[in-house]
Chain A
Amino acid sequence: MPGTPYPKEQMHRIAYTKLSEQQIADKLSKVIGSGPTSASPLSDAFVGKTIRIVTDNGPALAYKFVRNNRLSVAENGGGAMDAGYGALTLDNVAIFSHMIPGTQRGYAVVVDQGTNLATVFELWFSGYDDKREVQREIYYGYVDQAGQEAPKARHAPTNRIEGKGFYWKQDTGAETLEFYPSAAYSNFVELSRLGGELSFCGPSDYIKINEDFCIYTRTECELSGTFTAYVINLNRIEQVGVRLGFDASDALEYYVFRGKGEWLGQLAQFEKFGDESGAPVPAAAPGQTAAKGARRVYRPFKTMAKMTKAQVDAACAKHTSAFAPRAIAPGANAPAASMAGNLGPATDWLAGKSFTLRYDNAPAIEYRVDDTETLNWRKEGDSNWTKTRYQAYESMPGVILFGHLLEGTPNHDGHAIVADFHQGLMTCFNGYLNTPYYANEAGVKILFGVIEMEGLIPPKYNRHSFTDEMAGRAVSQNYAPGLTSMHLYSTPHSLSWIIFTGSDAGGLEWSGPAAYVKIRDGLFFIYWLEEACNGTLGTILVNVHTMRDVGIGYNCGENGLNMNALGAHERLAGQFDIKRFYQVKASGGVV
């Protein structure tokens, strides 16, 4: 029977081995002499040449290239060391990589043979708590030409790559979607390795060689720690690069690769016109000097609270609140008032009404709504009502988003519901806790159904349904002054969020599983899970006609369980053409 392309565990769920320095050294020792592998023929562009690369505030590297996979290198005038290497070229631009014998260090070097400018990435292991995570420092310089003055120009960080997205197919067969919605991070979807359900994020560098060529890097921090760097020809959509790291089974990946791609689109940038600067996120805090290789890395898994079921139950017993004013709910995981700055007014549309939400795949729930903040609910057949707090928002005439906690349920459920009273249809994102990995991480069930209410005849067969209309779109959200993000609907099953810097460049980014339900034309109900992150279930109802969203967040942390409302002013930021990668096509049939 043919296998599916999906992994047993998604990348954010893999318990990557904490490799020791010795384990890493042992694995590296096997490739130092041979250099990186390559599925494509290696370039002989440097064979027989002796070059000296001089960098600003970095190493001077003297190379002698003996064969197309053998070089000697001397650092800063030291003794020459023999090492294996691999080089590939795109027109005048070459990338080569090698390790330094006896160390856990190596280099990836990009040389523009037309201008003799060079960018040097020094790479090393065992430079962070998680020793498998590749560290990098970037040096800009040039190839020294005897008797000639050093060039003044340099390759430089840029935001000119921000907003681009590509489909890539490497000579290894690996297929990816790669998005650059930030000038400091990037987003990648492993189509062939993992089936492409989810996107993942990593800190990235974007370096301009010229208008046609650039360099991109990514380190898969919080995941395998693998480093990837490649040169892109932006017109022909071709790449040559290097990959260094340890995969999920701890096997060393060290290879150079060549790839071809397709342009998927261009998202908007929000920096001021004329601002083409790169590296918008400073490596160190103001007043501090950045250590070698330093960069700001979002490490949500490292910092998240990881709670057991008993701890969740205790935290919820101690503090549970829904739509509480900020002053009532203390603590860092209290209602996210920061995201409610642009929340529109709540509606009293439900006040005084009684109705039943009849789910196709869950027990029906009956409602009696007292006023704008209190409702009573019970499962159909129960005799007792439960009174609880709620809030409701009318995003489009007749479409009400409302939410409430289901006190007393064993998994501390909370419902975020979109009810279309003009159509008699509803969708519920049923959040719950006590999920398999960490009990405080929210899970979600998606419930479709109809509204039963006096004077309203719901459809028999029609339902809200999943949609791929939003797939590939990017929408910015201004939640409050100083708090602006952008959603990239990176696959039909995941969502990324990008935080803007003070200069409105894309900064840190992260991603989570998501789903998209079409409520009406121009109205989409979306959830995302901050898995291996803060554990939050976020839901938003996006109205692309008014460019406003309103949503409900559901979060459990050490300070208890909270449900809160959020709202933002939005801007469309473009769309990547990715739907075609998610069409299920006929194959050979059932075997």
Chain B
Amino acid sequence: MSNNAISTRRSFLKNGALLAAPLAAAAPAAVLTDNGLKVRLAKLEDEAAIRDLHQVWLQRVNAGEVDAAATLFGKTKTFALGRTVRSIAPDHTGEPDAIVVGADGRSATGRFHCAVEIGIAIPLDCTLAQMAHQQGGGFVCRTERRVLKVRYAKASGGWSIAKAEFAPA
């Protein structure tokens, strides 16, 4: 799997065009100018790319691939909970995911209601804890409902994560 930041999802054009059709159909086609269609298409492409980026980031976080997940961040690499996060799962009892692309098309925000498993490392103060860590454990885990608030930035044609933090659900 590539560690590169996700660029616009070209496959979306193949599979997503049909999905986009109802949106376009919501307004009379004649009203939309070519430019309006392009803007709308670009927005949908950006949203789809961000959704992909979010999905890849989640996969890496949940696989424990912390360093690989960090490569999806831009220069700032600001992630509030750091390495204590062991998994993030969608919270389907929460509000739907929301991705908002800025008017400039170069920034975006995402809000994702999720269940976060947080693992607090047991101190290496005894043989049992040392052995637990050695076999990949040694964490006290708890799951909390949170809202994952993410800021995205677009540079060189690709989206990356600028900041991710949890807020109370």
Contacts and interface: CB of A to CB of B under 8 A. Distances in A.
Contacts of B138: 482-483
A557 to B, nearest CB: 10
A483 B131 CA distance: 10
A480 interface: yes
Nearest to A299: B134
What is the size category of the interface that chain B forms with chain A?
Answer: 20 to 34
Contacts of B124: 332
Nearest to B120: A482
A287 B59 CA distance: 11
A184 B132 CA distance: 13
B65 A483 contact: no
A536 B127 contact: yes
B135 A483 contact: no
B139 interface: yes
Contacts of A333: 125
Nearest to B64: A286
B129 A287 contact: no
Residue of B60, B124, B125 ringed by the most chain A CB atoms within 10 A: B125
A287 B127 contact: no
A285 B63 CA distance: 10
Nearest to A286: B64
Interface string B47-85: 000000000000010011111100000000000000000
Contact of B125 (A332, A499, A508): A332
Contacts of A479: 128
Nearest to A303: B130
Contact of B131 (A334, A481, A510): A510
Contacts of A553: 126
B136 interface: yes
B132 to A, nearest CB: 5
A530 B134 contact: no
Nearest to B69: A287
B136 A483 contact: no
A438 to B, nearest CB: 15
A334 B125 contact: yes
Contact of B66 (A184, A287, A485, A508): A287
Interface string A497-537: 10111100001101000000000000000000010011010
A315 interface: no
Contacts of A480: 122, 140
B69 to A, nearest CB: 9
B123 interface: yes
Interface string A460-488: 00000000000000000001111101000
A194 interface: no
Contact of B127 (A334, A500, A501, A533): A533
Contact of A499 (B65, B135, B139): B135
B141 interface: yes
Contact of A286 (B122, B129, B131, B136): B136
B16 interface: no
B96 interface: no
B71 to A, nearest CB: 11
B135 A281 contact: yes
Interface in A280-308: 281-282, 285-287, 296, 298, 300
Given A286-B64, A287-B65, A482-B141, A507 B135 contact: yes
Given A338-B129, A530-B127, A482 B137 contact: yes
A287 B63 contact: yes
Interface in B114-168: 122-132, 134-141
B86 to A, nearest CB: 9
Interface string A49-85: 0000000000000000000000000000000000000
A339 interface: yes
A335 interface: yes
A129 B128 CA distance: 25
A473 B66 CA distance: 41
B134 A298 contact: yes
Nearest to A329: B125
A563 to B, nearest CB: 13
A351 interface: no
Nearest to A335: B125
Given A287-B65, A287-B66, A296 B134 contact: yes
User: Which of A298, A336, A482: most chain B CB closer than 10 A?
Assistant: A482
Contacts of B129: 336, 338-339, 483
A553 B126 CA distance: 10
A331 to B, nearest CB: 8
B122 to A, nearest CB: 5
A578 B68 CA distance: 50
A336 B126 contact: yes
A278 to B, nearest CB: 14
A572 interface: no
Given A332-B125, A337-B123, A338-B126, A499 B132 contact: yes
B59 to A, nearest CB: 11
Contact of B136 (A281, A334, A481): A281
Nearest to A482: B140
A332 B129 CA distance: 11
Nearest to A536: B127
A287 B135 contact: no
B135 A296 contact: yes
Nearest to B65: A287
A338 B140 CA distance: 11
Contacts of A507: 131-132, 135, 137
Most chain-B Cβ atoms within 10 A of its Cβ — which of A286, A336, A339, A530?
A286
Given A481-B140, A482-B140, A287 B128 contact: no
Contacts of A530: 127
Contacts of A483: 122, 128-129, 132, 138, 140
Given A287-B65, A338-B122, A482 B135 contact: no
Given A483-B128, A510-B131, A553-B126, A287 B137 contact: no
B36 to A, nearest CB: 44
7 contacts: A286-B64, A287-B68, A339-B128, A497-B127, A502-B136, A502-B137, A508-B134
| Top-4 shortest CB links A-B | A286-B64, A287-B65, A336-B126, A482-B140
Given A287-B67, A338-B128, A536-B126, 15 more contacts: A281-B136, A286-B136, A287-B60, A287-B65, A298-B134, A300-B127, A336-B125, A497-B127, A500-B137, A507-B131, A507-B137, A508-B131, A508-B134, A530-B127, A534-B127
